[in-house]
Chain A
């Protein structure tokens, strides 16, 4: 809790903006884990079966886009809090 207070103090002039900054960071962590897992899975599959690379690439981008969409939801909300 103390760490959170310090972060809020550092991040912005008001509590809302500070929390928005933290929220954007959390959204980025979520998206990073998600896209990282997808990339890992796709690379492993490609290494096992190089002939299926083309199919895998399309599905990899699709899954990454879906993960990213959810993360962007979070970031948009944070942006609205920060500037609103």
Chain B
């Protein structure tokens, strides 16, 4: 039961994270609105790329076609507003670029959406404090991944329970090499057979979640999900690693941080802050590595796309010539990203396992 509750909290935390990041942003909105209006006049390649790798309230397929997603906003003191993102219109009533406006159907608040998030004003034009818990593109992608993983891995588990001792069948034979890879390649060599039992469920869950999110981001023409490239998602994954490491840390681990043995007092004054900084730095680096790697892959592919249009603007022949090479490079980068999708999941799981093993190490000197 406790395990079930822990899993439930984990899922809720992962789902809600990007939105907290989102609503944090919206508080600083007013200072930035003016500078952003200026940016809209000349939309460069940078803006195009940033727009495509950041989280959004709709799944943009192509041109003006996009799938609206529900917007859920809790207005403090007024209540909950639920409406589809297609209700947002710009000043001319269209769906063009720039800030868009909508009226909340339940609280009557006036919402403004731009690149930094959603802000709310009441009838008198006063700012309202809001909690934006919308189902954004990343959240929708995560729901999809979670559903897919539950269906696939439940059927694998059932398969093993029904046919004990026999060779895997169906989808289980696809997943078995990956599960064994996490067990024999990550958990057993680093944590040891006994200790790895405790951490296997977390390691397997993170591995499959990250792989599935990375691969979903690589499927073209479905809106370009960038789930593991969103800081809100990876900060929760890294935060979970930090929490598990801290909770499982034994006397030996904390002893080495708070008072490293065999070190003179004055060196301790220097060493202890570094160690304490280190335990916070480890999950931070874990977060940045995953986010930056996945976002970088998207940025590179989008840059190659933009390159064609930059050259094509000057001459059609230039656009064609660059287009051929750009496409070839894009295919190469895409294949590299397929590798990176697995590699980053592997590295994340491996480092998590190493941190757990450091925290639970028994003294041996």
Contact = CB atoms under 8 A, between A and B. Distances in A.
Interface of A: 58, 61-62, 65, 68-70, 72-73, 75-76, 82-83
B288 interface: yes
A1 B165 CA distance: 71
Given A62-B347, A83-B46, A76 B189 contact: no
Contacts, number: 35
Contacts of A73: 285, 288
B350 interface: yes
Secondary structure dominating the interface of A: helix
Contacts of A82: 46
B333 to A, nearest CB: 15
Interface residues of B, number: 16
B289 A65 contact: yes
11 contacts: A58-B350, A61-B346, A62-B347, A62-B354, A65-B289, A68-B289, A70-B285, A72-B288, A72-B292, A73-B288, A76-B292
Nearest to A55: B189
A5 B296 CA distance: 28
B32 to A, nearest CB: 10
B13 interface: no
B293 A62 contact: no
Q: In this complex, which of B189, B292, B354 has the most chain A Cβ atoms within 10 angstroms of its Cβ?
A: B292
Contacts of A68: 289, 293
Contacts of B343: 61
A75 B357 CA distance: 30
A58 B189 CA distance: 10
Contacts of B285: 69-70, 73
B185 interface: yes
